[in-house]
């Protein structure tokens, strides 16, 4: 029997605490679209996306209305474009044509982002991988909805430092190509280590080659709900605190699981995974930073922040895995700066620095995310930041990422506004000391040892 208080609780979460399903992301393999002719490849890609995802947006909206829970984004992830285009692309501008096809098709399907303009170069780059990477600045400038990601390392392969060096330059060039729009191109570009094949969240979503032909992945959300429930245990001990977070994560994940199963059934596409991430939005109260404050920090960035975040991340997973048998993607708390009002406030208060954020990424998903830095930051320094994050991911066997925006013409303390879900961000200080000599070394960092764990 359904209990009245449970109905009220669920609806309060939805109506007052910003509970939503953040995204239904349909992963689609484009391997069978590859052709020796570029025009034919683009036609195949467009036709397959329309065939499989034609009803995606409508179905997502329908489910949202029937269960009374908002499903904010309907998105698509595809096979890394570097693989799809390897037989037909002869120069970087050929890849840009694939990007334009993805963008046009995404627009016609009504999805707000399509991920997978990607290259997986954990150990080395094929000529096609390198061409795709070199095409990213143009692709990000010329398209609106395409998201790009490059995986530069993994625990099993080490870090491809040639790709890291190149990505420093590509991030800079992408910023310059979109300089008139606060370098927004970089907000759609992420550099990863240990990238998962089934991530539903942008900008790092792509449909890995380990996946089937098509799959439905769902990303849940709910920092606002966790934040609200923690208000009731301000003086409680750690056991109560952890138990409360776990219970809440269970409830949030169950909603995601229900939506995922319904979407899978109605679209006739297998259900893949639920991503248990606490994904904040710029909306007031929908903030991971506020949860950290509720745990007992004056501001995120204060001593104790890493411990609080580690605790939060672990409880979210423990509650979530009980609610769904298939958990994957990134699954953890996101700590983007521009998309979380509490983080923005912490930076403005002088509490949070890039170095502290880096420490926080050791214990949560996913990495240095949506961080605006001065436009004068060198490509080598950006490569250094990428290398640091990749090293954390490689050694700790976890996903890490860098989505950093060197905003052209902006200095520390300035503000940039990306609009919508991407939010706004204060420009943060980067260490002025150089790592150029290290970054200029060729080759790769070897994989870490997998034995001698003592």
Contacting residues toward another protein, per CB under 8 A: 2-4, 6-11, 62, 65-69, 251, 254-255, 257-258, 322
To another protein, the closest distance from the beta carbon of 247 in angstroms equals 10
Closest distance to another protein from the beta carbon of 197 (Å): 27
State in angstroms the smallest separation of the CB of 16 from another protein.
Answer: 12
The token pair at 67 is 């269960």
Task: State the nearest-atom distance from the C-beta of 292 to another protein, in Å.
Answer: 25
Query: Quick one: 24 or 140, whose CB is closer to another protein?
Result: 24
Q: Which is nearer to another protein, 2 or 449 (CB)?
A: 2
Taking the least distance from each CB to another protein, the nearer of 188 and 251 is: 251
Phi then psi for residue 17, to 5 deg, are -115, 20
Q: Give burial (CB, 10 Å; 0-12/13-18/19+) of 347.
A: buried
How far apart are the C-alpha atoms of 173 and 188, rounded to whole Å?
13
Strands 424-426 and 415-417, bridge-based pairing: antiparallel
Residue closer to another protein by CB (options 160, 275) is 275
The smaller minimum CB distance to another protein, of residues 178 and 253, is found at: 253
Rg of the chain over all Cα atoms, to the nearest angstrom: 21
Find residue 220's DSSP bridge partners: 21
> What is the smallest separation between the CB atom of 249 and another protein, expressed in angstroms?
12
Task: Identify which of residues 62 and 162 has a Cβ nearer to another protein in the complex.
Answer: 62
Closest CA to 354 of 388, 310, 331: 388
CB 64 within 8 A of CB 110: no
DSSP per-residue codes, 231-288:
GGGTT--HHHHHHHHHHHHHHHHHHHHHHHHHHHHHHT--EEEEE--B---SSTT--H
Output the smallest distance, CB 283 to another protein, in A: 20
């Amino acid at each position: 029997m359904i209990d009245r208080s449970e109905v009220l609780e669920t609806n309060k979460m939805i109506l007052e605490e910003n509970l939503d399903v953040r995204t239904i992301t349909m992963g689609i393999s484009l391997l069978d679209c590859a052709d020796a002719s570029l025009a034919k490849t683009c036609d195949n890609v467009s036709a397959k996306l329309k065939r499989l995802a034609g009803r995606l947006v409508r179905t997502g909206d329908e489910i949202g209305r029937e269960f009374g829970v908002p499903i904010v984004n309907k998105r698509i992830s595809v096979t890394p474009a570097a693989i799809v285009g390897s037989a037909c692309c002869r120069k970087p501008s050929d890849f840009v044509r694939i990007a334009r096809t993805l963008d046009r098709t995404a627009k016609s399907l009504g999805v707000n982002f399509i991920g997978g303009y990607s290259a997986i170069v954990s150990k080395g780059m094929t000529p096609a991988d390198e061409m795709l990477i070199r095409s990213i600045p143009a692709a990000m400038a010329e398209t609106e909805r395409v998201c790009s990601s490059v995986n530069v390392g993994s625990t099993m392969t080490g870090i491809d430092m040639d790709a890291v060096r190149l990505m420093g330059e590509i991030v800079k060039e992408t910023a310059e190509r979109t300089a008139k729009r606060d370098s927004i191109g970089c907000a759609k570009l992420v550099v990863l280590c240990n990238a998962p094949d089934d991530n539903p969240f942008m900008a790092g979503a792509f449909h890995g080659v380990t996946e089937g032909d098509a799959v439905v992945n769902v990303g849940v959300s709910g920092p606002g709900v966790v934040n609200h429930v923690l208000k009731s245990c301000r003086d409680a001990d750690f056991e109560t605190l952890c138990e409360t977070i776990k219970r809440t994560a269970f409830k949030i994940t169950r909603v995601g699981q229900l939506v995922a199963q319904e979407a899978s059934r109605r679209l006739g596409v297998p259900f893949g995974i639920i991503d248990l991430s606490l994904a904040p939005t710029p909306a007031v109260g929908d903030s991971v930073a506020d949860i950290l404050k509720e745990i007992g920090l004056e501001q995120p960035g204060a001593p104790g922040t890493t411990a609080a975040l580690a605790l939060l991340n672990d409880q979210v997973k423990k509650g979530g895995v009980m609610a769904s048998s298939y958990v994957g993607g990134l699954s953890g708390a996101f700590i983007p700066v521009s998309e979380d009002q509490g983080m923005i406030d912490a930076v403005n208060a002088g509490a949070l620095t890039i170095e502290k954020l880096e420490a926080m990424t050791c214990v949560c998903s996913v990495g240095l995310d949506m961080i605006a830095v001065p436009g004068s930051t060198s490509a080598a320094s950006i490569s250094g930041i990428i290398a640091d994050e990749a090293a954390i991911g490689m050694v700790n066997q976890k996903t890490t990422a860098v989505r950093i925006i060197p905003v052209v013409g902006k200095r520390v303390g300035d503000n940039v506004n990306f609009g919508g879900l991407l939010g706004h961000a204060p420009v943060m200080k980067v260490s002025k000391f150089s790592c150029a000599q290290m970054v200029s070394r060729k080759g790769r960092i070897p994989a870490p040892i997998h034995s001698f764990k003592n």
